[in-house]
Amino acid sequence: MHVGVESESGLIHSVETTAANVHDLTPAAELVHGEETVVYADAGYQGIEKRPEMQSRCIGFRVAMRPGKRRALSDTPEGRVDDLIETAKAHFRSKVEHPFRVIKRQFGFQKTRLRGMLKNSCKVKVLAALSNLFMARHQLLCRT
């Protein structure tokens, strides 16, 4: 399950499901809706700016450093600045993890059984919509 999340609201705007053996970069173009100026991604999206489908878009990519490379940062002022930059990136990326928490904990969807990609894709999209409703429930209830 790959999701695109709005940074302000934390709501899911796009969902793609792939088999487990498909790399994270493959569905990345479908997760971007076109109005983004900056995209924050985890280390699995290293090299996304070099992909042909992404080069024509005017998007700034902030991709996380690989964990081993981050652990190897030196204890110099430059290394500490790089670590602070990675921490700032992690704060933005945490918005993406919250919908996964809602899907797993509130709705109990922790493991996927082999039911076929189409059935799993439908279930994941319904869970993403329910997750959005769950996360926006306070704003929705205040308007009535």
Residue whose tokens read 């450093």:
65
pLDDT in tens, 7-51: 888 899 999 999 889 998 889 888 888 788 888 888 888 988 888
**Tokens coding 36:** 């983004």
DSSP, residue by residue, 4-59: EE-TTT--EEEEE---TTS-TTTTHHHH--S--SEEEE-GGGTTGGGSHHHHTS--
In this prediction, residue 143 carries a pLDDT of 66
pLDDT for 141: 86
pLDDT of residue 131: 94
What is the pTM assigned to this prediction?
A: 0.80
> pLDDT tens for residues 79-119?
999 999 999 988 888 888 899 999 999 988 887 777 788 99
What's the whole-number mean pLDDT along residues 49-57? 86
Does 144 have pLDDT greater than 60?
no
